[in-house]
Structure 1
Amino acid sequence: MKIAIICFDDFTDLDVFLPWDLLNRVRLVGGIADWEVKLLGTASSHVSMAGLRIPMHGMVEEANTLDAVLFASGRGVQPLYKDPAYLGRFQLSPDRQLIGSMCSGALLLGALGYLTGKRATTYPTAAGQLTAFGVEVVNESFVNIGNISTAAGCLAGQDLSAWVIDSLMGSKMTQRVLETVQPVGQGLEIDL
């Protein structure tokens, strides 16, 4: 299984790194050798809103062939969702791929036509822009309709990641992964 997290300059750090960490735990805790998570962009590296430069594993077009594609969020979404050349690089298929977004990344899904006539969520500051795509924006942290999901609020990255893991590997693996990040006393236990 191959999963992409789509990055760009001015992405929100936590909206990339939380899913990156959780999704990679499938390979680490589950010993799943053919599980691969990639950061894809339009350059060899991208800089987060907090100023961290990270290398990419490939270009965004690679997402068209992968099992799951998650779009990050951040200020960098604003020019991209209005850019036909950027949007034209994506030929995704909701019939065979899981497609999701974090916060304002939903604007990219909206611009690509994947949310028209559907319920979705996004960061509150992007809600008005998302409705312009014929989307019913709801005040929920996670919305799933078929193979399309949207999450809003950085910590909802856990829900988005859990959806991908559950859809591709089942609920037992999802539980195993999430148990590794639970706060001590709220799931994770110390053997005394």
Structure 2
Amino acid sequence: MHIAILTLDGFNELDSLIALGLLNRVKRPGWRVSLACPSPRVTSMNGVSLQAQATLADAASADAVLVGSGIKTRDYAADTAFLDTLALNSSRQLIGAQCSGTLLLARLGLLDGVPACTDLITKPWVEEAGVRIVEQPLYARGNVATAGGCLASVYLAAWTIARLAGIDDAAAALHYVAPVGEKDSYVEHALTVIGPYLPTLPPQGDRR
């Protein structure tokens, strides 16, 4: 089970690294989480350089792909040559995006007719791409999920764990990282956020 976190130059550390840390709390044989980058090294919006753990081709073959945001995402979204390298397929992959990463999903045609979440800065760009934005931290339909707000990366990662490993593993991972003295309430709230978008629970309509 390979989960690739798409991490581009100018990336937001909270998106990629919170997801990386939370997803790696799952200890199952064959469970692998990696930062997939377009170059051997990428530098964050705050000057933190990271070495790539996987390529964009690796992301295309991964079981799940989470697309982080960053200050250069709009440039990437306008680069047709770059978009052509992202061979993502929601029929065989779980696909999630955070904040401006939602714009990439829109440009790839993965949000056609699907409401989405994003951050306040990216919202008008995604709307220009024809996607309706919902004012909530997480929304998912089928195998595609989007999250809005940096710290919503926790929900996106938890949704991914719940879909791939089960709700118990998601709860355990959340409990591990939750603040001491708030663990039970933190986990309960997070599961309330992701619960409507898990296939084992009753479906709910689009939240307005």
Deviating beyond 3 angstroms after TM superposition, the runs of 4 or more aligned structure 1 residues are none
Return the TM-score normalized by structure 2: 0.86
Question: What runs of 5+ residues in structure 2 fail to find an aligned partner?
Answer: 185-208
Cα deviation, residue 131, structure 1 = 1.1
Cα deviation, residue 108, structure 1 = 0.4
Secondary structure of the residue aligned to 1:161 is helix
Q: Which amino acid aligns with 2:112?
A: T
Cα deviation, residue 96, structure 1 = 1.2
Q: Which amino acid aligns with 1:105?
A: G
Among candidates 66, 70, 77, match of residue 66 of structure 2: 70
Q: Is the 8 A contact 2:138 2:156 kept in 1?
A: yes
Return the TM-score normalized by structure 1: 0.93
1:1-192 matched pairs, under 5 angstroms: 1-27=1-27, 32-187=28-183
Secondary structure of the residue aligned to 1:39 is strand
Q: Distance in 1 between matches of 2:177 and 2:38?
A: 31
Cα deviation, residue 116, structure 1 = 1.8
Cα deviation, residue 185, structure 1 = 1.1
* Percent identity over paired residues: 38
Secondary structure of the residue aligned to 1:143 is strand
Cα deviation, residue 148, structure 1 = 0.4
Q: Distance in 2 between matches of 1:34 and 1:142?
A: 27
Q: Which amino acid aligns with 2:169?
A: M
Q: Is the 8 A contact 1:77 1:108 kept in 2?
A: yes
Cα deviation, residue 159, structure 1 = 0.4
Q: Is the 8 A contact 1:116 1:133 kept in 2?
A: no
Q: Deviations over 1:24-66 (max 9, x none)?
A: 1102xxxx12100011111101000110100001211211111
Greater strand content? 1
Secondary structure of the residue aligned to 2:24 is helix
Q: Distance in 2 between matches of 1:90 and 1:4?
A: 12
Q: Which amino acid aligns with 2:127?
A: T
Superposition RMSD in Å: 1.0
Q: Is the 8 A contact 2:64 2:95 kept in 1?
A: yes
Q: Which amino acid aligns with 1:15?
A: D
Q: Distance in 1 between matches of 2:107 and 2:38?
A: 18
The number of equivalent residue pairs is 184
